[in-house]
Amino acid sequence: MSTRLSEIVVDCREPVAMARWWGETLGWSASTTGLGEQLLRPAASDDTTPALLFDTVPEPKQSKNRVHLDLASQSPDDQRELVDRLVARGATRADIGQTGTPWVVLADPEGNEFCVLDRATSTSASAGSRASRSTPPIPSPWRPSGSRRPAGRSARRIPAR
């Protein structure tokens, strides 16, 4: 028995703006949940990728995020073009101590760090890591087959204090 990763929940100040920005970035569609959050879903044909759910919290971002996204690209050239497009749309380059890494660290309009990889998949890229990332990946299924898409009613968030 296992459980499925339904969504990644993002605390933010401006959920509508954040959902718009990430929706344009990923090509995903946004909707409003019954709790007033913004839900971004991948294409209907994608029944495996978790959704992104943006909710409102009063507190500002205080430190480097411990959970972040890695965005894929097809090549180093594609990576450069993607980074340029994201920066033109409001992303900023983030310096979190990375040097000489093949990935580029950016921050979204609310300062959330994310990485743009120089390849389609990664076993060696992440924001903020100074540790060696050369350990071979170990396949470990964490999602059962046959799971269904997340539903709009499944919007959940950790409430702010």
Partner 1 sequence: MLFPPGRGAPDLGLVQVDDSKTVKLRWHLDVQPVAGTSIEEESERLRTLGAVDIDIGQHDDPAVDWIVLADPAGNEFCVIPPL
Determine the Cα–Cα distance for residues 77 and 158; give it in Å rounded to an integer.
39
- The residue within the footprint of partner 1, chosen from 21, 91, 121, 134 (CB under 8 A), is 121
Applying CB under 8 A, does 144 fall inside the site for partner 1? yes
Nearer to partner 1, 8 or 16 (CB): 8
> In the Cβ-directed half-sphere of 94, how many Cα atoms lie within 13 Å?
25
Smallest gap, in angstroms, from Cβ of residue 81 to partner 1?
A: 21
C-alpha to C-alpha distances, 16 to 19, 63, 107, nearest whole angstrom: 5, 22, 17
C-alpha to C-alpha distances, 75 to 80, 83, 97, 108, 117, nearest whole angstrom: 9, 12, 23, 22, 8
- The residue within the footprint of partner 1, chosen from 48, 81, 84, 120 (CB under 8 A), is 48
Residues of this chain, 60-89, that bind partner 1 according to CB under 8 A: 61-70
Place of tokens 């209907």: 44
- For the record, the structure tokens of 54 come out as 């943006």
Applying CB under 8 A, does 6 fall inside the site for partner 1? yes
Q: What is the binding site for partner 1 (CB under 8 A)? A: 1-11, 35, 46, 48-50, 53, 61-70, 112, 121-123, 126, 128-131, 133, 137-148, 150-151, 154, 156-161
